[in-house]
A and B are shown apart, each in its own frame.
Chain A
Protein backbone atom coordinates (compact mmCIF):
# COMPACT_ATOMS: atom_id res chain seq x y z
CA UNK A 1 0.00 0.00 0.00
CA UNK A 2 3.05 2.24 0.18
CA UNK A 3 2.99 2.73 -3.51
CA UNK A 4 -0.46 4.13 -3.72
CA UNK A 5 -2.50 7.25 -3.21
CA UNK A 6 -4.14 7.40 0.20
CA UNK A 7 -6.66 10.08 0.87
CA UNK A 8 -9.19 10.97 3.47
CA UNK A 9 -11.24 14.16 3.37
CA UNK A 10 -13.98 15.21 5.66
CA UNK A 11 -15.35 18.64 5.08
CA UNK A 12 -18.58 20.46 4.59
CA UNK A 13 -19.52 23.54 2.65
CA UNK A 14 -22.75 25.49 2.67
CA UNK A 15 -25.11 22.70 1.70
CA UNK A 16 -22.75 19.91 0.80
CA UNK A 17 -20.52 17.58 2.74
CA UNK A 18 -17.67 15.43 1.52
CA UNK A 19 -16.69 12.36 3.51
CA UNK A 20 -14.24 10.22 1.62
CA UNK A 21 -11.63 7.66 2.59
CA UNK A 22 -9.92 6.01 -0.35
CA UNK A 23 -6.85 4.19 -1.51
CA UNK A 24 -6.20 4.54 -5.20
CA UNK A 25 -3.66 2.57 -7.22
CA UNK A 26 -0.54 4.42 -8.31
CA UNK A 27 -0.82 3.04 -11.83
CA UNK A 28 -3.37 3.47 -14.56
CA UNK A 29 -6.49 5.58 -14.70
CA UNK A 30 -8.80 5.80 -11.70
CA UNK A 31 -12.19 7.21 -12.60
CA UNK A 32 -14.21 9.24 -10.11
CA UNK A 33 -17.69 8.67 -11.40
CA UNK A 34 -21.05 10.07 -10.39
CA UNK A 35 -23.88 12.41 -11.27
CA UNK A 36 -23.34 16.15 -11.16
CA UNK A 37 -23.30 17.39 -7.59
CA UNK A 38 -21.95 14.11 -6.20
CA UNK A 39 -18.71 15.79 -5.14
CA UNK A 40 -16.34 14.32 -7.68
CA UNK A 41 -14.92 17.65 -8.82
CA UNK A 42 -14.73 18.90 -5.23
CA UNK A 43 -12.75 15.79 -4.31
CA UNK A 44 -10.38 16.38 -7.22
CA UNK A 45 -9.88 19.99 -6.13
CA UNK A 46 -9.15 18.81 -2.58
CA UNK A 47 -6.50 16.43 -3.93
CA UNK A 48 -4.94 19.28 -5.90
CA UNK A 49 -5.04 21.57 -2.88
CA UNK A 50 -7.19 24.07 -4.76
CA UNK A 51 -9.96 23.54 -2.24
CA UNK A 52 -8.77 23.57 1.35
CA UNK A 53 -10.40 20.75 3.30
CA UNK A 54 -9.66 18.85 6.46
CA UNK A 55 -8.09 15.50 5.91
CA UNK A 56 -4.92 13.81 4.85
CA UNK A 57 -3.40 12.87 1.54
CA UNK A 58 -0.33 10.81 0.78
CA UNK A 59 0.91 10.27 -2.75
CA UNK A 60 3.46 7.50 -3.12
CA UNK A 61 4.76 7.98 0.41
CA UNK A 62 4.97 11.77 0.11
CA UNK A 63 2.63 13.54 2.51
CA UNK A 64 0.77 16.33 0.74
CA UNK A 65 -1.58 17.04 3.57
CA UNK A 66 -2.17 15.93 7.12
CA UNK A 67 -3.21 17.55 10.37
CA UNK A 68 -0.02 19.64 10.65
CA UNK A 69 0.83 20.25 7.09
CA UNK A 70 -0.77 21.61 3.95
CA UNK A 71 1.51 21.58 0.95
CA UNK A 72 0.57 24.51 -1.31
CA UNK A 73 -0.69 23.63 -4.80
CA UNK A 74 2.42 24.80 -6.62
CA UNK A 75 4.65 22.52 -4.55
CA UNK A 76 2.65 19.37 -5.28
CA UNK A 77 3.99 17.27 -8.12
CA UNK A 78 0.70 17.19 -9.96
CA UNK A 79 -0.86 18.45 -13.14
CA UNK A 80 -4.47 19.40 -13.62
CA UNK A 81 -6.52 19.41 -16.80
CA UNK A 82 -9.66 21.48 -16.35
CA UNK A 83 -12.98 20.98 -18.07
CA UNK A 84 -12.47 24.06 -20.19
CA UNK A 85 -8.94 24.15 -21.54
CA UNK A 86 -8.08 27.35 -19.60
CA UNK A 87 -5.10 28.27 -21.73
CA UNK A 88 -3.48 31.58 -20.86
CA UNK A 89 -4.96 33.98 -23.42
CA UNK A 90 -1.93 36.28 -23.32
CA UNK A 91 0.51 33.54 -24.31
CA UNK A 92 1.00 31.66 -27.57
CA UNK A 93 0.53 27.90 -27.65
CA UNK A 94 4.28 27.43 -27.33
CA UNK A 95 4.55 29.75 -24.34
CA UNK A 96 1.55 28.05 -22.73
CA UNK A 97 3.36 24.73 -23.08
CA UNK A 98 6.57 26.17 -21.68
CA UNK A 99 4.88 27.84 -18.70
CA UNK A 100 5.01 24.81 -16.42
CA UNK A 101 7.93 23.12 -18.17
CA UNK A 102 10.27 26.02 -17.37
CA UNK A 103 9.17 26.10 -13.75
CA UNK A 104 10.38 22.62 -12.87
CA UNK A 105 14.08 21.84 -12.32
CA UNK A 106 15.85 20.36 -15.35
CA UNK A 107 16.62 17.07 -13.60
CA UNK A 108 12.91 16.53 -12.94
CA UNK A 109 11.92 16.86 -16.58
CA UNK A 110 10.95 13.37 -17.69
CA UNK A 111 8.80 14.46 -20.62
CA UNK A 112 10.70 16.19 -23.42
CA UNK A 113 9.12 19.26 -25.00
CA UNK A 114 9.26 17.86 -28.54
CA UNK A 115 7.78 14.56 -27.40
CA UNK A 116 4.76 16.21 -25.84
CA UNK A 117 4.29 18.34 -28.96
CA UNK A 118 4.41 15.41 -31.36
CA UNK A 119 2.42 13.17 -29.04
CA UNK A 120 -0.54 15.50 -29.08
CA UNK A 121 0.02 16.60 -32.66
CA UNK A 122 0.69 20.26 -31.91
CA UNK A 123 3.54 20.96 -34.36
CA UNK A 124 1.43 23.21 -36.57
CA UNK A 125 -0.13 25.11 -33.70
CA UNK A 126 2.88 26.30 -31.70
CA UNK A 127 2.89 29.89 -32.93
CA UNK A 128 -0.85 30.40 -32.74
CA UNK A 129 -2.78 32.17 -30.04
CA UNK A 130 -5.28 30.17 -27.98
CA UNK A 131 -8.24 32.15 -29.35
CA UNK A 132 -7.39 30.85 -32.84
CA UNK A 133 -7.80 27.19 -31.82
CA UNK A 134 -10.80 24.88 -31.89
CA UNK A 135 -12.11 23.41 -28.62
CA UNK A 136 -10.42 20.07 -29.27
CA UNK A 137 -7.11 21.69 -30.16
CA UNK A 138 -7.20 23.79 -27.01
CA UNK A 139 -7.78 20.74 -24.85
CA UNK A 140 -4.88 18.95 -26.56
CA UNK A 141 -2.63 21.90 -25.73
CA UNK A 142 -3.86 21.81 -22.13
CA UNK A 143 -3.06 18.10 -21.86
CA UNK A 144 0.43 18.57 -23.31
CA UNK A 145 1.01 21.52 -20.97
CA UNK A 146 0.04 19.32 -18.03
CA UNK A 147 2.29 16.45 -19.12
CA UNK A 148 5.24 18.81 -19.50
CA UNK A 149 5.48 19.36 -15.74
CA UNK A 150 6.31 15.63 -15.47
CA UNK A 151 3.75 15.16 -12.70
CA UNK A 152 3.64 12.21 -10.32
CA UNK A 153 -0.12 12.46 -10.45
CA UNK A 154 -2.30 13.74 -13.28
CA UNK A 155 -5.74 15.06 -12.37
CA UNK A 156 -8.34 15.45 -15.10
CA UNK A 157 -11.70 17.09 -14.48
CA UNK A 158 -14.11 15.99 -17.22
CA UNK A 159 -11.65 16.95 -19.94
CA UNK A 160 -14.12 15.96 -22.67
CA UNK A 161 -17.35 17.28 -21.20
CA UNK A 162 -17.17 20.72 -22.78
CA UNK A 163 -16.39 19.35 -26.24
CA UNK A 164 -18.66 18.40 -29.11
CA UNK A 165 -18.76 14.77 -30.29
CA UNK A 166 -16.24 15.37 -33.06
CA UNK A 167 -13.70 16.92 -30.70
CA UNK A 168 -14.29 14.13 -28.17
CA UNK A 169 -13.41 11.58 -30.82
CA UNK A 170 -10.35 13.64 -31.63
CA UNK A 171 -9.10 13.63 -28.02
CA UNK A 172 -9.93 10.08 -26.89
CA UNK A 173 -7.14 8.32 -28.78
CA UNK A 174 -4.64 10.69 -27.13
CA UNK A 175 -6.00 9.82 -23.71
CA UNK A 176 -5.69 6.13 -24.51
CA UNK A 177 -2.08 6.57 -25.57
CA UNK A 178 -1.50 8.44 -22.36
CA UNK A 179 -2.84 5.42 -20.56
CA UNK A 180 -0.76 2.90 -22.49
CA UNK A 181 2.53 4.73 -22.87
CA UNK A 182 2.94 6.94 -19.84
CA UNK A 183 3.57 5.64 -16.40
CA UNK A 184 1.69 8.42 -14.61
CA UNK A 185 -1.28 7.64 -12.41
CA UNK A 186 -4.35 9.56 -13.52
CA UNK A 187 -7.42 10.50 -11.51
CA UNK A 188 -10.16 11.15 -14.03
CA UNK A 189 -13.46 12.77 -13.11
CA UNK A 190 -16.36 11.93 -15.40
CA UNK A 191 -20.10 11.38 -15.52
CA UNK A 192 -19.93 9.38 -18.74
CA UNK A 193 -20.20 5.55 -18.48
CA UNK A 194 -18.69 5.36 -21.98
CA UNK A 195 -15.53 7.17 -20.86
CA UNK A 196 -15.31 5.00 -17.77
CA UNK A 197 -15.45 1.76 -19.75
CA UNK A 198 -13.06 3.05 -22.34
CA UNK A 199 -10.39 4.53 -20.11
CA UNK A 200 -10.66 3.48 -16.48
CA UNK A 201 -8.76 0.69 -14.74
CA UNK A 202 -10.13 1.50 -11.33
CA UNK A 203 -13.55 2.89 -10.59
CA UNK A 204 -14.79 4.99 -7.71
CA UNK A 205 -18.51 5.71 -7.65
CA UNK A 206 -19.50 8.78 -5.64
CA UNK A 207 -22.93 9.84 -4.51
CA UNK A 208 -23.83 12.69 -2.18
CA UNK A 209 -20.21 13.31 -1.22
CA UNK A 210 -19.63 9.67 -0.23
CA UNK A 211 -17.92 6.73 -1.86
CA UNK A 212 -20.51 4.05 -2.60
CA UNK A 213 -18.23 1.69 -4.47
CA UNK A 214 -14.57 1.48 -5.37
CA UNK A 215 -12.41 -1.19 -6.86
CA UNK A 216 -10.92 -2.50 -10.08
CA UNK A 217 -13.15 -1.64 -13.04
CA UNK A 218 -14.42 -5.13 -13.86
CA UNK A 219 -15.25 -5.91 -10.22
CA UNK A 220 -17.04 -2.65 -9.60
CA UNK A 221 -19.04 -2.68 -12.82
CA UNK A 222 -20.31 -6.19 -12.14
CA UNK A 223 -21.51 -5.46 -8.62
CA UNK A 224 -25.22 -5.89 -8.22
CA UNK A 225 -25.62 -4.26 -4.84
CA UNK A 226 -24.93 -0.66 -5.83
CA UNK A 227 -27.67 1.76 -4.85
CA UNK A 228 -26.47 3.68 -7.86
CA UNK A 229 -27.73 2.30 -11.15
CA UNK A 230 -26.30 2.70 -14.60
CA UNK A 231 -29.69 1.83 -16.12
CA UNK A 232 -29.47 1.13 -19.83
CA UNK A 233 -25.72 1.64 -19.65
CA UNK A 234 -25.21 -1.27 -17.25
CA UNK A 235 -22.32 -3.18 -18.76
CA UNK A 236 -19.17 -5.06 -17.97
CA UNK A 237 -15.80 -4.43 -19.54
CA UNK A 238 -13.56 -7.35 -20.46
CA UNK A 239 -9.85 -7.04 -21.10
CA UNK A 240 -9.22 -9.22 -24.16
CA UNK A 241 -6.53 -10.26 -26.58
CA UNK A 242 -7.30 -10.59 -30.28
CA UNK A 243 -6.97 -14.33 -30.99
CA UNK A 244 -8.02 -14.69 -34.61
CA UNK A 245 -8.98 -12.53 -37.56
CA UNK A 246 -11.45 -14.20 -39.92
CA UNK A 247 -11.11 -12.36 -43.20
CA UNK A 248 -13.79 -14.41 -44.91
CA UNK A 249 -16.60 -13.40 -42.54
CA UNK A 250 -15.03 -10.09 -41.51
CA UNK A 251 -15.03 -11.10 -37.87
CA UNK A 252 -12.43 -11.23 -35.12
CA UNK A 253 -12.24 -13.48 -32.11
CA UNK A 254 -11.21 -11.87 -28.86
CA UNK A 255 -10.17 -14.02 -25.94
CA UNK A 256 -10.72 -13.21 -22.31
CA UNK A 257 -9.85 -15.41 -19.34
CA UNK A 258 -11.92 -18.62 -19.78
CA UNK A 259 -13.86 -17.54 -22.82
CA UNK A 260 -13.95 -15.77 -26.16
CA UNK A 261 -16.28 -13.65 -28.22
CA UNK A 262 -16.69 -12.92 -31.92
CA UNK A 263 -17.23 -9.42 -33.11
CA UNK A 264 -17.07 -7.34 -36.27
CA UNK A 265 -13.59 -6.75 -37.61
CA UNK A 266 -12.71 -3.12 -36.96
CA UNK A 267 -9.15 -3.34 -38.13
CA UNK A 268 -7.39 -4.94 -35.20
CA UNK A 269 -4.53 -7.41 -35.44
CA UNK A 270 -3.83 -10.70 -33.72
CA UNK A 271 -2.18 -10.32 -30.32
CA UNK A 272 -3.47 -6.80 -29.78
CA UNK A 273 -4.95 -5.99 -26.39
CA UNK A 274 -8.45 -4.58 -26.62
CA UNK A 275 -11.29 -3.74 -24.29
CA UNK A 276 -14.78 -4.90 -25.10
CA UNK A 277 -17.89 -3.65 -23.43
CA UNK A 278 -20.82 -6.01 -23.08
CA UNK A 279 -24.07 -4.28 -22.19
CA UNK A 280 -26.33 -6.21 -19.82
CA UNK A 281 -29.26 -5.43 -22.15
CA UNK A 282 -27.48 -7.35 -24.95
CA UNK A 283 -27.04 -10.52 -22.91
CA UNK A 284 -29.78 -13.12 -22.72
CA UNK A 285 -29.95 -16.47 -20.93
CA UNK A 286 -31.17 -19.86 -22.21
CA UNK A 287 -31.58 -23.40 -20.96
CA UNK A 288 -30.37 -24.90 -24.27
CA UNK A 289 -27.98 -23.40 -26.83
CA UNK A 290 -30.19 -24.14 -29.91
CA UNK A 291 -29.70 -22.64 -33.36
CA UNK A 292 -29.76 -18.88 -33.38
CA UNK A 293 -28.45 -15.86 -35.22
CA UNK A 294 -26.55 -15.06 -32.08
CA UNK A 295 -22.98 -16.24 -32.59
CA UNK A 296 -21.66 -15.74 -29.11
CA UNK A 297 -22.99 -18.45 -26.87
CA UNK A 298 -21.06 -19.23 -23.70
CA UNK A 299 -21.61 -21.68 -20.91
CA UNK A 300 -21.72 -20.13 -17.46
CA UNK A 301 -22.95 -20.43 -13.94
CA UNK A 302 -25.39 -18.05 -12.26
CA UNK A 303 -23.44 -16.19 -9.62
CA UNK A 304 -26.01 -13.81 -8.19
CA UNK A 305 -29.34 -12.15 -8.86
CA UNK A 306 -29.98 -8.48 -8.38
CA UNK A 307 -32.53 -5.71 -8.60
CA UNK A 308 -32.93 -3.47 -11.60
CA UNK A 309 -34.44 0.01 -11.67
CA UNK A 310 -37.54 -1.30 -13.43
CA UNK A 311 -39.69 -3.74 -11.41
CA UNK A 312 -40.24 -5.90 -14.50
CA UNK A 313 -36.51 -6.44 -15.01
CA UNK A 314 -33.69 -8.01 -13.08
CA UNK A 315 -29.93 -8.34 -13.37
CA UNK A 316 -28.26 -11.72 -13.40
CA UNK A 317 -24.54 -12.05 -12.81
CA UNK A 318 -23.06 -15.02 -14.62
CA UNK A 319 -19.57 -16.44 -14.22
CA UNK A 320 -17.78 -17.70 -17.29
CA UNK A 321 -14.87 -19.37 -15.53
CA UNK A 322 -13.13 -16.45 -13.84
CA UNK A 323 -14.81 -13.75 -15.93
CA UNK A 324 -18.15 -12.14 -15.28
CA UNK A 325 -21.02 -11.03 -17.51
CA UNK A 326 -24.23 -9.27 -16.54
CA UNK A 327 -27.57 -10.11 -18.14
CA UNK A 328 -30.61 -7.88 -17.93
CA UNK A 329 -33.70 -10.05 -18.32
CA UNK A 330 -37.39 -9.76 -17.53
CA UNK A 331 -38.52 -11.27 -14.26
CA UNK A 332 -41.05 -13.35 -16.13
CA UNK A 333 -38.36 -14.92 -18.31
CA UNK A 334 -36.26 -15.64 -15.25
CA UNK A 335 -39.22 -17.35 -13.60
CA UNK A 336 -40.00 -19.37 -16.73
CA UNK A 337 -36.46 -20.72 -16.99
CA UNK A 338 -36.27 -21.04 -13.22
CA UNK A 339 -33.08 -19.08 -12.84
CA UNK A 340 -31.46 -19.50 -9.48
CA UNK A 341 -28.05 -19.20 -7.98
CA UNK A 342 -25.39 -21.76 -9.00
CA UNK A 343 -27.40 -23.18 -11.89
CA UNK A 344 -25.56 -23.79 -15.14
CA UNK A 345 -26.89 -21.78 -18.03
CA UNK A 346 -26.20 -20.74 -21.62
CA UNK A 347 -25.34 -17.11 -22.12
CA UNK A 348 -26.14 -15.51 -25.46
CA UNK A 349 -24.37 -12.25 -26.26
CA UNK A 350 -26.16 -10.37 -29.00
CA UNK A 351 -23.63 -7.64 -29.54
CA UNK A 352 -20.22 -6.70 -28.33
CA UNK A 353 -18.59 -3.31 -28.64
CA UNK A 354 -14.91 -2.70 -28.94
CA UNK A 355 -14.02 0.27 -26.78
CA UNK A 356 -10.30 0.49 -27.42
Chain B
Protein backbone atom coordinates (compact mmCIF):
# COMPACT_ATOMS: atom_id res chain seq x y z
CA UNK B 1 0.00 0.00 0.00
CA UNK B 2 1.31 3.43 -0.90
CA UNK B 3 0.24 5.84 1.81
CA UNK B 4 -1.06 9.08 0.34
CA UNK B 5 0.10 11.93 2.58
CA UNK B 6 -1.43 14.72 0.49
CA UNK B 7 -4.79 14.89 2.39
CA UNK B 8 -2.89 15.08 5.69
CA UNK B 9 -0.62 17.85 4.46
CA UNK B 10 -3.56 19.68 2.91
CA UNK B 11 -5.51 19.50 6.18
CA UNK B 12 -2.52 20.86 8.12
CA UNK B 13 -2.07 23.66 5.60
CA UNK B 14 -5.76 24.52 5.71
CA UNK B 15 -5.90 24.47 9.52
CA UNK B 16 -2.78 26.64 9.86
CA UNK B 17 -3.98 29.23 7.36
CA UNK B 18 -7.47 29.29 8.85
CA UNK B 19 -6.15 29.71 12.39
CA UNK B 20 -3.94 32.65 11.39
CA UNK B 21 -6.75 34.35 9.47
CA UNK B 22 -9.13 33.76 12.38
CA UNK B 23 -6.78 35.30 14.95
CA UNK B 24 -6.47 38.42 12.81
CA UNK B 25 -10.19 38.69 12.08
CA UNK B 26 -11.56 37.30 15.34
CA UNK B 27 -9.49 39.36 17.79
CA UNK B 28 -11.02 42.76 16.98
CA UNK B 29 -14.52 41.24 16.98
CA UNK B 30 -13.89 39.58 20.36
CA UNK B 31 -12.40 42.82 21.73
CA UNK B 32 -15.40 44.80 20.58
CA UNK B 33 -17.86 42.27 22.01
CA UNK B 34 -16.00 42.23 25.33
CA UNK B 35 -15.90 46.01 25.76
CA UNK B 36 -19.01 47.42 24.11
CA UNK B 37 -22.27 48.35 25.79
CA UNK B 38 -23.94 48.93 22.42
CA UNK B 39 -27.39 47.42 21.88
CA UNK B 40 -26.12 45.44 18.90
CA UNK B 41 -23.78 43.39 21.09
CA UNK B 42 -26.18 40.50 21.70
CA UNK B 43 -27.46 40.20 18.11
CA UNK B 44 -23.89 40.19 16.79
CA UNK B 45 -22.74 37.71 19.42
CA UNK B 46 -25.64 35.50 18.32
CA UNK B 47 -24.63 35.67 14.66
CA UNK B 48 -21.07 34.78 15.66
CA UNK B 49 -22.37 31.75 17.57
CA UNK B 50 -24.63 30.49 14.76
CA UNK B 51 -22.09 28.03 13.28
CA UNK B 52 -22.16 26.22 16.63
CA UNK B 53 -25.76 25.12 16.11
CA UNK B 54 -26.29 25.13 12.35
CA UNK B 55 -25.67 21.88 10.48
CA UNK B 56 -22.42 22.33 8.49
CA UNK B 57 -24.36 21.55 5.33
CA UNK B 58 -26.56 24.62 5.87
CA UNK B 59 -23.52 26.83 6.29
CA UNK B 60 -21.83 25.18 3.32
CA UNK B 61 -24.93 25.55 1.17
CA UNK B 62 -25.21 29.30 1.73
CA UNK B 63 -21.49 29.81 1.33
CA UNK B 64 -21.66 27.95 -1.97
CA UNK B 65 -24.45 30.25 -3.14
CA UNK B 66 -22.70 33.40 -1.91
CA UNK B 67 -19.30 32.50 -3.32
CA UNK B 68 -20.63 30.93 -6.53
CA UNK B 69 -20.68 32.67 -9.94
CA UNK B 70 -24.15 34.12 -9.31
CA UNK B 71 -23.63 35.07 -5.66
CA UNK B 72 -22.69 38.57 -4.47
CA UNK B 73 -19.22 37.53 -3.32
CA UNK B 74 -18.78 35.55 -6.53
CA UNK B 75 -19.63 38.60 -8.61
CA UNK B 76 -17.03 40.56 -6.71
CA UNK B 77 -14.25 37.95 -6.94
CA UNK B 78 -14.91 37.57 -10.65
CA UNK B 79 -14.91 41.33 -11.16
CA UNK B 80 -11.45 41.66 -9.61
CA UNK B 81 -10.20 38.75 -11.67
CA UNK B 82 -9.96 36.04 -9.01
CA UNK B 83 -12.58 33.80 -10.54
CA UNK B 84 -14.90 31.97 -8.18
CA UNK B 85 -13.87 30.53 -4.83
CA UNK B 86 -15.84 27.26 -4.53
CA UNK B 87 -13.81 24.13 -5.21
CA UNK B 88 -10.51 25.94 -4.60
CA UNK B 89 -8.19 26.03 -1.60
CA UNK B 90 -8.86 29.76 -0.87
CA UNK B 91 -12.57 28.94 -0.98
CA UNK B 92 -11.96 26.27 1.66
CA UNK B 93 -10.14 28.80 3.83
CA UNK B 94 -13.05 31.25 3.60
CA UNK B 95 -15.54 28.51 4.49
CA UNK B 96 -13.40 27.29 7.39
CA UNK B 97 -13.05 30.79 8.76
CA UNK B 98 -16.83 31.14 8.93
CA UNK B 99 -17.27 27.67 10.34
CA UNK B 100 -14.69 28.06 13.14
CA UNK B 101 -15.36 31.73 13.89
CA UNK B 102 -17.12 31.15 17.26
CA UNK B 103 -14.33 28.86 18.41
CA UNK B 104 -11.94 31.82 18.25
CA UNK B 105 -14.19 34.70 19.20
CA UNK B 106 -15.75 33.15 22.29
CA UNK B 107 -12.57 32.20 24.19
CA UNK B 108 -11.01 35.53 23.28
CA UNK B 109 -14.10 37.47 24.33
CA UNK B 110 -14.13 35.60 27.65
CA UNK B 111 -10.46 36.28 28.22
CA UNK B 112 -10.87 40.00 27.47
CA UNK B 113 -13.91 40.22 29.74
CA UNK B 114 -12.07 38.57 32.62
CA UNK B 115 -9.37 41.26 32.47
CA UNK B 116 -11.93 43.94 33.29
CA UNK B 117 -11.50 47.70 32.99
CA UNK B 118 -9.05 48.24 35.79
CA UNK B 119 -5.72 47.11 34.27
CA UNK B 120 -6.49 49.11 31.13
CA UNK B 121 -7.35 52.19 33.19
CA UNK B 122 -4.13 51.79 35.12
CA UNK B 123 -2.20 51.57 31.86
CA UNK B 124 -3.92 54.72 30.59
CA UNK B 125 -2.88 56.66 33.69
CA UNK B 126 0.66 55.41 33.01
CA UNK B 127 0.70 57.11 29.59
CA UNK B 128 -0.18 54.11 27.41
CA UNK B 129 -2.31 54.94 24.36
CA UNK B 130 -5.21 52.69 23.40
CA UNK B 131 -3.13 50.66 20.92
CA UNK B 132 -0.30 50.43 23.44
CA UNK B 133 -2.68 49.28 26.19
CA UNK B 134 -4.05 46.57 23.93
CA UNK B 135 -0.63 45.11 23.15
CA UNK B 136 1.09 45.63 26.49
CA UNK B 137 -1.75 44.71 28.83
CA UNK B 138 -4.76 43.11 27.14
CA UNK B 139 -2.91 40.63 24.91
CA UNK B 140 -0.52 39.32 27.60
CA UNK B 141 -3.32 39.02 30.14
CA UNK B 142 -5.53 37.25 27.59
CA UNK B 143 -2.81 34.77 26.67
CA UNK B 144 -4.69 31.69 27.90
CA UNK B 145 -7.61 32.81 25.73
CA UNK B 146 -5.38 33.15 22.66
CA UNK B 147 -3.98 29.68 23.29
CA UNK B 148 -7.42 28.12 23.65
CA UNK B 149 -8.70 29.98 20.59
CA UNK B 150 -5.78 28.86 18.41
CA UNK B 151 -5.96 25.24 19.46
CA UNK B 152 -9.73 25.07 19.02
CA UNK B 153 -9.62 26.79 15.62
CA UNK B 154 -6.87 24.47 14.41
CA UNK B 155 -8.46 21.27 15.70
CA UNK B 156 -11.95 22.22 14.57
CA UNK B 157 -10.71 22.97 11.06
CA UNK B 158 -8.88 19.66 10.86
CA UNK B 159 -12.07 17.89 11.86
CA UNK B 160 -14.55 19.65 9.58
CA UNK B 161 -16.31 17.62 6.92
CA UNK B 162 -19.72 18.88 5.84
CA UNK B 163 -18.68 22.40 4.95
CA UNK B 164 -15.62 21.16 3.08
CA UNK B 165 -17.65 18.73 1.05
CA UNK B 166 -20.21 21.40 0.13
CA UNK B 167 -17.77 24.20 -0.71
CA UNK B 168 -14.58 22.36 -1.61
CA UNK B 169 -15.70 19.14 -3.17
CA UNK B 170 -13.16 16.39 -3.43
CA UNK B 171 -10.30 17.51 -5.66
CA UNK B 172 -7.06 15.65 -4.77
CA UNK B 173 -4.25 18.03 -3.74
CA UNK B 174 -6.59 21.04 -3.85
CA UNK B 175 -9.60 20.39 -1.64
CA UNK B 176 -9.40 16.72 -0.66
CA UNK B 177 -8.62 17.08 3.03
CA UNK B 178 -8.18 14.36 5.60
CA UNK B 179 -11.78 13.94 6.67
CA UNK B 180 -12.96 13.74 3.06
CA UNK B 181 -10.22 11.25 2.29
CA UNK B 182 -11.41 9.00 5.12
CA UNK B 183 -14.94 9.14 3.75
CA UNK B 184 -13.61 8.27 0.30
CA UNK B 185 -11.63 5.30 1.57
CA UNK B 186 -14.66 3.95 3.40
CA UNK B 187 -16.87 4.40 0.35
CA UNK B 188 -14.40 2.39 -1.73
CA UNK B 189 -13.93 -0.18 1.06
CA UNK B 190 -10.23 0.69 1.55
CA UNK B 191 -10.49 0.08 5.28
CA UNK B 192 -6.76 -0.11 5.94
CA UNK B 193 -6.11 3.45 4.73
CA UNK B 194 -9.24 4.61 6.53
CA UNK B 195 -7.95 3.02 9.75
CA UNK B 196 -4.60 4.78 9.53
CA UNK B 197 -6.15 8.17 8.93
CA UNK B 198 -9.00 7.79 11.42
CA UNK B 199 -6.75 6.35 14.12
CA UNK B 200 -4.27 9.14 13.50
CA UNK B 201 -7.07 11.66 13.99
CA UNK B 202 -8.09 10.12 17.30
CA UNK B 203 -4.53 10.25 18.61
CA UNK B 204 -4.02 13.78 17.28
CA UNK B 205 -7.25 15.08 18.83
CA UNK B 206 -6.47 13.47 22.17
CA UNK B 207 -3.02 15.05 22.28
CA UNK B 208 -4.32 18.47 21.30
CA UNK B 209 -7.03 18.50 23.96
CA UNK B 210 -4.72 17.11 26.62
CA UNK B 211 -2.17 19.84 25.91
CA UNK B 212 -4.88 22.45 26.09
CA UNK B 213 -6.18 21.23 29.44
CA UNK B 214 -2.72 20.91 30.93
CA UNK B 215 -1.63 24.35 29.80
CA UNK B 216 -4.89 25.95 30.90
CA UNK B 217 -4.78 24.48 34.37
CA UNK B 218 -1.22 25.74 34.77
CA UNK B 219 -2.15 29.19 33.44
CA UNK B 220 -4.96 29.47 35.92
CA UNK B 221 -2.56 28.96 38.76
CA UNK B 222 -0.22 31.62 37.46
CA UNK B 223 -2.93 34.14 36.82
CA UNK B 224 -4.85 33.80 40.03
CA UNK B 225 -3.87 36.60 42.37
Contacts and interface: CB of A to CB of B under 8 A. Distances in A.
Interface of A: 48, 50, 72-74, 78-80, 82, 84, 86, 88-90, 99-100, 103-104, 130-131, 145-146, 149, 155
Contacts of B224: 131
When A and B form their complex, which 6 residue pairs have the shortest distance between CB atoms, in order from nearest?
A100-B126, A80-B125, A103-B127, A73-B124, A90-B140, A86-B122
Given A88-B137, A89-B225, A149 B127 contact: yes
A146 B125 CA distance: 8
Interface in B186-225: 223-225
A74 B129 contact: yes
A79 B127 CA distance: 9
A50 B124 contact: yes
B37 interface: no
A99 B118 CA distance: 15
Given A89-B223, A89-B225, A145 B126 contact: yes
Interface in B119-171: 119, 121-130, 132-133, 136-137, 140-141, 143
Chain B interface size band reads 20 to 34
Nearest to A100: B126
Contact of B127 (A89, A104, A131): A104
Residue among B126, B129, B143 with max Cβ neighbours from chain A (10 Å) = B126
A130 B125 contact: no
Binding site secondary structure of chain B: helix
Interface of B: 118-119, 121-130, 132-133, 136-137, 140-141, 143, 223-225
Contacts of B143: 90
Contact of B225 (A72, A78, A82, A131): A131
Contacts of A79: 125-126
Nearest to B224: A131
A50 B121 CA distance: 7
Given A88-B123, A99-B136, 10 more contacts: A50-B121, A73-B125, A74-B130, A82-B118, A82-B121, A90-B140, A99-B128, A103-B126, A146-B125, A146-B126
Contact of A78 (B125, B130, B133): B125
B123 A99 contact: yes
Contacts of A155: 125
A283 B122 CA distance: 45
A50 B127 CA distance: 13
A80 B128 CA distance: 13
B63 to A, nearest CB: 39
15 contacts: A50-B121, A74-B126, A79-B125, A80-B125, A82-B122, A84-B118, A86-B122, A88-B123, A89-B223, A89-B225, A90-B140, A99-B128, A103-B126, A104-B127, A149-B126
